Amino acid sequence: MTTTYPLHAPFSPADAPFPDQADVVIAGAGIMGCAAAYYLARRGVKAVVLDKSRIAGQQSTRAWGFVRQQGREAAEVPLMMAGMRIWEQLERELNFDLEWRQGGCLYVADNDEDWASFQQWMDVAKQYGLDTRVLDRAQIDQHVRGMHGKALGGLYTATDGQAEPRRVAAAFAARAVEAGARFFEGCGVVAIERGAGSVTGVVTERGTIRTRQVICAAGASSWRLLKTLGITLPQQAVRGTCMRTNPLPAVTASTFWGHGLGIRQRANGAINLADDMQVDVDMTFGHFRALKWFLPELWAQREKFSFHLNGEFVRDLRDRLPGAVSGGERVLHPRDPNPQPNRAHAPKALQKLRALFPALKDAQVVESWAGLIDVLPDGIPVLDEASSFSSSSSSSSKAAGLLVATGFCGHGFAMGPIVGHLMAEWICDGQPSLDLSEFRLQRFFDGTMKRPRSML
Ligand X SMILES: Cc1cc2nc3c(=O)[nH]c(=O)nc-3n(C[C@H](O)[C@H](O)[C@H](O)COP(=O)(O)OP(=O)(O)OC[C@H]3O[C@@H](n4cnc5c(N)ncnc54)[C@H](O)[C@@H]3O)c2cc1C
- What angle is formed at CA 18 by the lines to CA 8 and CA 55, rounded to 5 degrees? 20
Buried residues in 395-417 as b, exposed as e (16+ CB within 10 A): eebbbebbbbbbbbbbbbbbbbb
Closer of 371 and 401 to ligand X (Cβ) = 371
Closer of 260 and 359 to ligand X (Cβ) = 260
Closer of 152 and 383 to ligand X (Cβ) = 383
Smallest distance from ligand X to CB 301, Å: 17
Closest CA to 439 of 89, 56, 32: 32
Closer of 336 and 446 to ligand X (Cβ) = 336
Smallest distance from ligand X to CB 407, Å: 8
The H-or-E segment that residue 292 falls in is: helix 291-300
Closer of 237 and 363 to ligand X (Cβ) = 237
Closer of 77 and 373 to ligand X (Cβ) = 373
Smallest distance from ligand X to CB 17, Å: 19
Q: Are 404 and 383 in contact (CB under 8 A)?
A: yes
Q: What is the DSSP letter of 304?
A: G
Closer of 56 and 140 to ligand X (Cβ) = 56
Contacts of 174 (CB under 8 A, 6+ apart): 7, 11, 94, 96
Cα–Cα distance for residue pair 416/80, rounded to 1 Å: 10
Strands (DSSP E) contained in 9-141 are 25-27, 48-50, 66-67, 105-109, 132-135
Smallest distance from ligand X to CB 401, Å: 17
Q: Are 415 and 60 in contact (CB under 8 A)?
A: no
Smallest distance from ligand X to CB 384, Å: 14
Smallest distance from ligand X to CB 455, Å: 13
- DSSP of 343-386: TTHHHHHHHHHHHH-GGGTT--EEEEEEEEEEE-TTSS-EEEEG
Cα–Cα distance for residue pair 409/236, rounded to 1 Å: 10
Smallest distance from ligand X to CB 170, Å: 12
Site residues for ligand X per CB under 6 A: 27-33, 50-53, 56-60, 62-66, 188-189, 217-221, 225, 240, 242, 331-332, 371, 373, 406, 408, 410-414
Smallest distance from ligand X to CB 112, Å: 26
Q: Which residue is nearest to ligand X (CB)?
A: 30
Q: Which residues pair with 27 in a beta bridge?
A: 50, 216
Q: Which residues pair with 275 in a beta bridge?
A: 261
Closer of 152 and 328 to ligand X (Cβ) = 328
- ω before 19 within 30° of 0 (cis)? no
